[in-house]
Structure 1
């Protein structure tokens, strides 16, 4: 059951967050809440000691601080900051957290360039009948939940919880 939670909750929450961000330009609070709650449920059974658990909470606090600062500067949305924080808790203060954040940064850069290109050519996109959600073309912000999902899914196999779950299967 615990292994199932590890392998299903994180990816499903990230995909759901990306989809809602694409179509609604918002990330519902329940998605980061489920991510955090699932981690808190799994952590005691995953072999994390108190110090390991503390390192995962420290990762969340560190990422939350950065996300809050970006939110205060109007660079990142509040939902994005919460999703990034809830995802970071699954990585802990490990090399995998850095990999995750780097992937998110790269994905965010590519996503931003693509959306800006689409918006610059919005009339052409509409005229061609391309299936691009209206929110992507008309909003003034970038749905960064997509980049967080891409970075999370790309780096998830390196997270301590996944490696621990894989070891328990052998």
Structure 2
């Protein structure tokens, strides 16, 4: 049961957050809350010891500290900060967390360039009738939840819980 949850909860929450950010430029608070709560339940049900859970929480706290600073400097949105923090708890203090953050940065850069290019072509896109959310053109923000989700999808197969779930499938 916990293996199935490992395969479903994290990717589903990321997909929902990305879609919500694309369409509304907001990430609902329930998404990071579900990610945090589900991690604790799944980790305990999977037999992860309290020491390891603590290290996962430390990873999330470190990411939160950096995100809070970026939010205070008005560089990052609050929803993005909460989502990154909630994702970090799933990766823990591992190389997978580093990979996740690198992927998010790379996808975020590509996303930003793509949206800025789209915005320069707004009149052509609208005249062609291409169905894109209007907020992509009118908001001054970038829906970074998309980059967070893509980074999560790319790094998640190497996360501790996924590696454990894969080993249970093979064993």
Question: TM-score range with shorter-chain normalisation?
Answer: over 0.9
Residue 107 (structure 1) aligns with: 107
Give the Cα–Cα distance (whole angstroms) in 1 for the partners of residues 66 and 111 of structure 2. Answer: 20
Q: Is 1:57 aligned with 2:57? A: yes
Matches for 1:74-89 after TM superposition, within 5 Å: 74-89=74-89
Task: Tell me by how many angstroms 1:8 deviates.
Answer: 0.3
Residue 71 (structure 2) aligns with: 71
Q: Is 1:36 aligned with 2:51? A: no
Give the Cα–Cα distance (whole angstroms) in 2 for the partners of residues 57 and 72 of structure 1. Answer: 22
Residue 19 (structure 2) aligns with: 19
Residue 158 (structure 1) aligns with: 158
Residue 140 (structure 1) aligns with: 140
Task: Tell me by how many angstroms 1:38 deviates.
Answer: 0.4
Task: Tell me by how many angstroms 1:133 deviates.
Answer: 0.7
RMSD: 0.8
Task: Tell me by how many angstroms 1:34 deviates.
Answer: 0.5
Give the Cα–Cα distance (whole angstroms) in 2 for the partners of residues 54 and 15 of structure 1. Answer: 27
Give the Cα–Cα distance (whole angstroms) in 1 for the partners of residues 2 and 48 of structure 2. Answer: 13
Deviations 1:96-134 (A, max 9, x none): 000000000000000000001111111111111111110
Give the Cα–Cα distance (whole angstroms) in 2 for the partners of residues 76 and 147 of structure 1. Answer: 13
Task: Tell me by how many angstroms 1:47 deviates.
Answer: 3.0
Unpaired segments ≥5 residues, structure 2: none
Residue 123 (structure 1) aligns with: 123
Task: Tell me by how many angstroms 1:137 deviates.
Answer: 1.1
Task: Tell me by how many angstroms 1:138 deviates.
Answer: 0.9
Unpaired segments ≥5 residues, structure 1: none
Q: Is 1:92 aligned with 2:62? A: no
Tell me the TM-score normalised to structure 2 length: 0.97
